[in-house]
Amino acid sequence: MTASASQKQPKRHLLLASDQADQSNELAHILRSVGEVQAIATSDIPDKPASEVSGIVVDINLRSAESVQRVRNKLRGEAYRSMPRLFVLADALHHASMQAWALGATDTISRPFDAAAILQRVRAAFPDSAAYDATDRGKALNRGVEAAHAVIVKMFEKLPAGEPLTIEDVMQAENKILKAIKHTSLREWLTAVGCHHIDSYRHCLFVTGFAVAFAQNLGMREDDQRRLARAALLHDIGKAFVPVAILDKKTPLTEEEMYEIRQHPRRGYEALAAQGGFPAEMLDVVLHHHEMLDGSGYPNGLSGNQISDIVRLTTIVDIYAALVEKRAYRMPFTHARAFALMEGMSGKLDQQLLQAFRPVAFGAY
Separation in Å, CA 207 to CA 5, 71, 88, 204, 325:
40, 30, 27, 5, 10
How large is the average pLDDT for residues 1-22? 66
Q: Identify which of 81-85, 123-127, 219-223, 260-264 has the greatest average pLDDT.
A: 260-264
The average confidence (pLDDT) of the chain is 85
Over residues 294-324, the pLDDT tens digits come to 999 999 999 999 999 999 999 999 999 999 8
Question: DSSP code of 85?
Answer: E
Predicted TM-score (pTM) of the model is: 0.64
Q: What is the pLDDT of residue 50?
A: 83
Rounded (5°) CA angle 42-43-48 = 85
Q: What is the pLDDT of residue 139?
A: 79
Over residues 179-237, the pLDDT tens digits come to 888 888 888 888 888 765 467 888 999 999 999 999 988 888 888 888 999 999 999 99
Pure H helices in 154-198: 167-183, 186-193
User: What domains can be seen in the chain, in order of their start residue?
Assistant: 11-131 (3.40.50.2300), 136-363 (1.10.3210.10)
Separation in Å, CA 245 to CA 80, 94, 124, 178, 260:
33, 9, 28, 33, 11
Pair 103, 68: CB distance under 8 Å: yes
Over residues 347-357, the pLDDT tens digits come to 999 999 999 99
Q: What is the pLDDT of residue 51?
A: 77
Q: What is the pLDDT of residue 291?
A: 98
Check residues 330 and 295 and name the one with the higher pLDDT.
295
Q: Residue 101 and residue 75: Cα distance in Å, rounded? A: 13
How large is the average pLDDT for residues 93-107? 71
